[in-house]
Amino acid sequence: MKRSVRHLGKLPITAWIGFFAFAVSTAGLIRHFEPFYTWFYCFSWWSYILVIDGMNRAMEGESLLLDHTGDFAYVTFCSVGVWLVFELFNLSLKNWHYVNVPRNLPVRWLGYFIAYATVLPGIFETATFLKNIGLFLRLEKAKMWIPGRRWKLWSVLIGASCLILPLVLPRYFFPLVWLGFVFLLEPLNFSGGLPSLAREMMAGNWRELALLLSAGAICGFLWELWNYWAGGKWIYTVPWVGHLKIFEMPLPGFFGFPPFAVECYVMMTSLFFLRDRLLGNSGASPSAGKRRGIVVIVSVIPVIAFYCLVFHLIDKYTVIGFR
């Protein structure tokens, strides 16, 4: 099979900004200099996104941030909402809590937004990078997956169960939340003609799945690494295995990051479909542009209200220490 690994060309200025920002924030962390100490997680992740996006641009000739800026902004904005769904689950699961977050509410909420906005871009940029260096090429022509006739029904039922059981018996079923949306939404994406991992696997292409799983594992390690050293951080209170840790994460918890990346991909696929349905076709007439502007405003206001509501719930139930 012909290799399609791309050579690294000239890095864009954004990548060098990322390198510089990471160096400065790391120095600030070591010296406990604010805001770098408290917000090291945010500084490190945005530095990483700038660097890896620049590397993707240098290898592929285009990148999500520099060449598809509108999509990047949408993914970033939706990343906050996707993660807040899991924060809502955590109100019942109580698997993690935040410590040493700022007392100033506007600063704290801005920090939440900036931190959660890195989740999906980090995963997708990492998966793209792994694809650009030629990882898992042989999986593009692997054994085809032939599901049963009722696979979509069973998948939806399994997905719904994975999301309901952790709420009913959180002590025993909490890990299932990191699989639920994959099984719930993938059949719907498939039936709607949207990008679908199931469709890829039916054609014998398992590469996209492998790239996402690997990106999740890499991002999971970096999430825990940079969180561990930050002043403002999360800690875990996971049943059964909470004492066996790498950084702050109980060891078995690292197995949740790969499927979480797949979950993010499936959820974002549905969110792109929702955006396209709301905005309609991309006509350039003034009336079409005005209509899209109104739709965006009307759509964003309730979403922002949802974000603020969950931020408040995080403050009330998940934060256990202010500084």
Q: How many CB atoms lie within 10 A of CB 206?
A: 21
179 domain residue, yes or no: yes
Q: Do residues 39 and 77 lie in contact, with contact meaning Cβ atoms separated by under 8 Å? A: no
**Tally of structural domains, the chain:** 1
1 domain residue, yes or no: no
2 domain residue, yes or no: no
pLDDT band at 296 (very low <50, low <70, confident <90, very high): confident
303 domain residue, yes or no: yes
50 domain residue, yes or no: yes
pLDDT of residue 232: 96
18 domain residue, yes or no: yes
Q: Is the pTM of this model over 0.85?
A: yes
For the chain, count helices (H), then strands (E): 13, 4
6 domain residue, yes or no: no
For residue 280, give the 3-state DSSP assignment: coil
- Distances in Å between the alpha carbon of 191 and those of 196, 206, 209? 9, 19, 19
The rounded distance, in Å, linking the Cα atoms of 140 and 204 is 7
Q: Which domain holds residue 278?
A: 13-318
pLDDT of residue 3: 44
5 domain residue, yes or no: no
168: Cβ–Cβ under 8 A, 6 or more apart, which residues?
A: none
Q: For residue range 91-137, list pLDDT tens digits in order.
A: 999 999 999 999 999 999 999 999 999 999 999 999 999 999 999 99
- Distances in Å between the alpha carbon of 81 and those of 76, 147, 271? 9, 32, 10
| Residues 170-195, mean pLDDT to the nearest whole number | 96
